Chain A
Amino acid sequence: MRKPIAVLALLILFVFLAMGAIEMRPFGEPEETEMDDYFLYDEEEGSQAHNHVNNVVTAVLFDYRGLDTLGEATILFAAVSGVLTVLRELKKEGGKDD
């Protein structure tokens, strides 16, 4: 009883996935290019001409908003300092008491 239903559900799912795969556009040819035209390919403001980075997200993280990343790294440094302070090994004096 449960097996035919499962097979049917699987078949329907497969058909929909196959339809999606067939209708997919070829790689590197997006349908809408307004965002790319501004953020990537713009001759003055785009990240390709401005700082020669293909990946806009990384360009924002490490170039335009580099101070933010510095803050993140400092927070991580402070977190590690705190963990090392709390969990540091205390040396026993003379080994008399634990």
Chain B
Amino acid sequence: MNWKMSRIVRTVTNFLIVPIIVYGIYLVLHGHLTPGGGFQGGAVIASSTALLIIAYGTLGEHEKDLSSVEALGLTLFILIALLGIGTTMFYNFLAGAGGVFGGTIPEGINPGYINTGGTVPLMNIFVGLEVTAALSLIIWMMSKETFVINSEKKEVKD
């Protein structure tokens, strides 16, 4: 399990991992203004996990943490959906109410303000958390199995 790629690949990974994660977070946070959203941004952040696994061979012992983050994202999503149950499920109770994400939009063409949208950006964030953790877990578990198979083949050859 201590399989690594060369120092060049690891150094380039260390440089690339930051812009990839920042771009993913940007996609998640601006989901209600630009194309993108929780699913797409989460997939971008999970690709940084794939890069880490290719370069370093392991993520350490963070499997339980990723599972918890995934369950937390889904639970908070359902919680936000249930908070509007006074009207209906998934009612946008924060929109235009002031406060966090409760700003109002001037009518017509506007440059886009991040403090708008009500529950939509919150749900984007939670779905982004869930998708990030889920795809990272899938990539990690599959890569782990291939590493085990490769090492077994080597033992057979020797």
Do the beta carbons of A77 and B74 come within 8 Å of each other? yes
A interface, by DSSP: helix, strand, loop or mixed?
helix
A49 to B141, CA, bound (A): 45
**B37 in contact (CB, < 8 A):** yes
Contact of A54 among B73, B116, B138 (CB under 8 A): B116
**A76 in contact (CB, < 8 A):** yes
Not counting A53-B105, A53-B117, A67-B89, a sample of 12 additional A-B residue pairs whose C-beta atoms are within 8 angstroms of each other reads A52-B103, A52-B104, A53-B116, A54-B116, A55-B33, A58-B117, A62-B37, A62-B123, A66-B81, A70-B78, A73-B131, A87-B142
B-to-A contact residues, CB < 8 Å:
31-35, 37-39, 67, 70-71, 73-74, 77-78, 81, 89-90, 92, 95-96, 103-105, 107-110, 112, 116-120, 123-124, 127, 130-131, 134, 137-138, 141-142, 144-145
A-to-B contact residues, CB < 8 Å:
28, 41, 48-55, 57-59, 61-63, 66-67, 69-70, 72-74, 76-77, 79-80, 83-84, 87
